[in-house]
Amino acid sequence: MTQQEISDCLYALKSQIEALETRLNSMELLMKRPNKENYEKLVDVVLEHDKRLNSIEKL
């Protein structure tokens, strides 16, 4: 594979990833936590759990 072909493949992959990120950001994936009334964006819940896990790992 030539350098140009590799560059073209990477550019195409980058474009596909950006398109996927755009679609995911526009989706309203919601989650209702146990014992809560409101729904939250799933991404917010996942980020919060990730922060908690990282803080536990640092202990």
pTM of the model: 0.48
Return the pLDDT at 5: 95
- Please say if the pLDDT value at position 6 is more than 90: yes
Task: Give pLDDT tens digits for 9-35.
Answer: 999 999 999 998 888 778 888 989 889
59 pLDDT above the threshold of 90: no
- 3-state SS of the chain is CCHHHHHHHHHHHHHHHHHHHHHHHHCCCEEECCCCCCEEEHHHHHHHHHHHHHHHHCC
